[in-house]
Chain A
Amino acid sequence: MDVREIVIAGVGGQGTVFAARILAHAALIAGHHVAQSASYGAEARGTPAWAGVVISSNPIVFPYPQHCDAVLALAAPGYRLWEDRLAPGAVVLAEEALGLPGIGVPAARLAQELGAPQAANLVLLGALLGYTGWLARDVAAEAVAALSPERFRAGNLAALEAGWRYGRSIA
């Protein structure tokens, strides 16, 4: 894989880092090199937060996203930090309710319907992978299963799957 730079942006408490860790872990399982970074010091709810993932089949030189190939937007404050750092043809998947530019995904609603309201982040991640095909569905599921706490595992897997289907449907 060529270098892919992906940012998951939102506000503190939305699980941007968790989604990034899942993505990074999935990339590792798929045999890629990967670097995952995050904004620190913005853990409080409401403040902008982001996590970045750089994936490549070669060792990664600079480990931070610079020109994003994809941004997943869970909330506007985090997205604003990255909107002027998009690569040409970048994929922006945003929570539909935010009305941001890019492709709207009803992440919160889908997560809610699955009884996993905490997992809107994974719906968006699933949608990205379904839409782009950058990583296979089963490695993503493996990563979710490996990193989710027991009580959230089933809900998280369902959210990823729902997102993946949604992503496929709009691809």
Chain B
Amino acid sequence: MRAKGWRELIREDFWPPPFCPGCGHGILMGAIMRAIVQTGLDPSRVALVAGIGCAGWIPTYIACDTLHTPHGRAIPHAAGIALTRPDLRVIVIGGDGDLSSIGGNHLIHAARRDLPLTVLCANNAIYGMTGGQTSPTTPPGERTATAPRGVGERPFDLCALVAGAGAGFVARGTVVRPQALEGLLGKALGHPGFSFVEVLTPCPTQVGRRKGLSPVDHLRTLGERTVPLARWRTLPSEERAARIPVGILRGGDEEGSWT
């Protein structure tokens, strides 16, 4: 039976979630609940699968069947569910470290296989829970606990990575624009094969504090840096480089190059 409102999706006996004040994961959690309601899915036919990391806690507080797995391993567990139970909608939720570092191999193979999964990656470009270490998406030059003199490696563009591996639906949103994010999640849930949504989100505790950004300023900067894909395409190339396009990047009307 479909849920009437997102509050039905709160796993009340586990509430409240443990996110730091100003963390984007609460907003993402709300967007997931609303997207499940809006797409008319029966919450008891939704399987949520997570790995380890702050974002991996999100499904714990949503009242669907939830598998909270070892670090990096959400996707292969989800594969076991999705392959045997086409009647269930399987959603993977994890952070950038979980899904693209330790779980990176699983991510590209799931995209290549076109497994019927929706993978949501809360990308805050840092390891939050373990104390602010460099992740595969930390921008060059940023100072982290493991790069005190600044990161010297190139980051992944996660959307380009999974698109390159064959993902049929790829989108990027931010927690700064929760309604737009909800829309993207809804579209991803409606995609029959492998769908991927990168969700840009702040980690005020491990990034904001280090940079001296208040949670509000942190969100504001993220908002300023991101531009809808259609507008991003019209920007001069210097400006494009400084901005991040958001929206449906593959599998929608505006499909085309964004890198």
> Are A and B in contact, CB atoms below 8 Å, in the complex?
no
Binding site for A on B (CB under 8 A): none
| A interface residues (Cβ-Cβ under 8 A, vs B) | none
